[in-house]
Amino acid sequence: MHASTDPVFVACWATGSDTNEDGVFLLEGFGYPATEGRVEVLSTSWFAPYSNLESGSSASRELAALGLTGEKLSDLPDWKDATPEYFAKLESRPVILASGRNEFLTRFRRACPTLHEPVVLDLESLAAFLLPGRGERAFAGLYQRLLSTAASSSSKQGTKANERITAPSRPRANDIRRLCEALIRWHFARPESIRQMFARAFDDLQAVTEEGESAAWEWLELARRLLDRPSRFAAGDDDDLFTAALTDGEFSRDLDSAPMDAERALTEATPEFRLEYETEFGEHAPLESRREDAAALSQDDHKILQAFYDLVPRAFTPKGAEPRDRPGQRVLAQEVTAALEENRFLMADAPTGTGKTLSYLAPSLLWSTATQTRVALSTYTRALQEQAYFREIPRALRLLRDAGLPDERMPRVALLKGRANYICGRAILDTAPEAGSGSVIARATWLRLALFYAEDSSGDLDGFHGAPGLPLGQPAAVLREVWRMVASVRAIPGCCH
């Protein structure tokens, strides 16, 4: 194992993130080079995180859940005395954590003030850099999402990896290694044009960081090695979750094949939101947006609507409990249905707990598909809009199907916001930093915006994750510059995209 280049996956468990108050109670670190198998760098070691742990405290309960109580806990060495020896073994080494880069480095500096710091990259930050779009940011959510995707892919090949993936409450070293490999696999599953754009923009970004941004350069260099030499961490304690080994040198090959200007590679990619539109709506003629005459639902559709509201109480009732009907919800739904059928105006109000959203969703969706008329639903805030679109509409569609609506009649649904909420394809090309110009933050943000433009299913900038991932100084100042650049790529009236 190469001490200066091969990553060490470190689990550092503390009672909290406050480095002044919270103590460390577990450390372990392993390398996983394919040629050598698992290599122990830090043996799995337990420590007493407090000299006087208050009985009944949250930390006490957590340690008790791990079996660290009474005499067993009192026999453990104090973490402040014992951990410097362990941290010292990480001097100048590349370290991969689950999360908490800054906290880890603070603990290292206090434990080993005269030693060279390790180069530290945590996977929550790497995910923010590689996957800037909508989705989970915490380790557990990333683990669930990416490992489940890997398991699903593997199960198609007949492996045993189709078992449900559960994220560990406290990740061990191999859990961290697994998520790291899943992130790298996710990247190389991207279309070639996106990988080439990323490789060129990444290379340009790292070149700019060489002057005065040593922490960012080291972070990017470690990320580059993870991307280009996955064999140096491929020997995990895994089952057959990952069925095919990653190939070394793929990042370098993408860079060699990439145009000299990253934006040129981006022009060869078809944005995901365009592909999704063509899949969902492209083959269908646009629906009429107005209907002046009355249009009643059929008797069968009224039966579907009745069955829908019979199913609703069960959808909200815990297993074993008695479903509770909401008469007010049915009454409001009947009024909405009648207003649609009779082409008349309705103003309605109902108290909290009525179930207003499903009261208007089911009649609107059913009437739209029955009459082939487009229906627009407007909410008071964007938060309510996203709640309706991402939570309530999928539930309504499931219940309509369960109530008997045939698949061929299931309504097509899209989310629409004001133009300025969306990223502009022309603007993202126009704002690409020229060679040798642009700040590190601007280049990092452009790279992530380009990924977002290519891969987000809606292009809605509310889903863009602002934090850049790599260390670039004071977070608040960094975010201000990030959001200034985001503002420059928002769509405007007359925009071609």
pLDDT (0 to 100) of residue 436: 67
Give CA–CA dist 252/203, Å, rounded.
10
132 by Cβ neighbours in 10 Å (0-12 / 13-18 / 19+) ranks as buried
Q: Measured between alpha carbons, how far is residue 497 from residues 124, 284, 419, 433, 460 in Å? A: 32, 21, 10, 20, 13
Q: What's the CATH superfamily of 8-117? A: Ribonuclease H-like superfamily/Ribonuclease H (3.30.420.10)
Q: What residue spans define the domains of the chain? A: 8-117, 124-276+423-488, 299-409
pLDDT (0 to 100) of residue 157: 46
Give CA–CA dist 255/198, Å, rounded.
8
At residue 243, the 3 state secondary structure works out as coil
pTM as predicted? 0.86
User: Can you tell me the mean pLDDT for 12-28?
Assistant: 93
Q: Which residue has the higher pLDDT, 32 or 492?
A: 32
Question: 135-151 burial string, b = 16+ CB within 10 Å, else e?
Answer: ebeebbebbbbbbeebb
At residue 214, the 3 state secondary structure works out as helix
pLDDT (0 to 100) of residue 244: 80
pLDDT (0 to 100) of residue 162: 46
DSSP states along 144-199 = HHHHHHHHHHHHTTT-STTSPP---SS--HHHHHHHHHHHHHHHHTS-HHHHHHHH
Give CA–CA dist 246/177, Å, rounded.
14
Q: Are strands 8-14 and 24-31 parallel, antiparallel or unpaired?
A: antiparallel
In 3D space, the residue among 51, 10, 9 whose CA is nearest the CA of residue 27 turns out to be: 10
Q: Name residue 101's amino acid.
A: R
User: Can you tell me the mean pLDDT for 449-461?
Assistant: 94
Q: Are strands 39-46 and 24-31 parallel, antiparallel or unpaired?
A: antiparallel
Q: How confident is the model at residue 303 (pLDDT cuts 50, 70, 90)?
A: very high
Distance of CA 166 to the CA centre of its chain: 16
Question: 444-467 burial string, b = 16+ CB within 10 Å, else e?
Answer: bbbbbbbbbbbbbebbbbebbbbb
CA atoms within 13 A on the CB side of 415: 25
pLDDT tens digits, one per residue of 119-165: 999 999 999 999 998 888 899 999 999 998 776 665 544 444 445 68
pLDDT at 497 over 90: no
Distance of CA 268 to the CA centre of its chain: 25
pLDDT tens digits, one per residue of 243-291: 788 899 999 999 999 999 999 999 999 999 999 888 888 888 888 888 8
User: Can you tell me the mean pLDDT for 64-93?
Assistant: 89
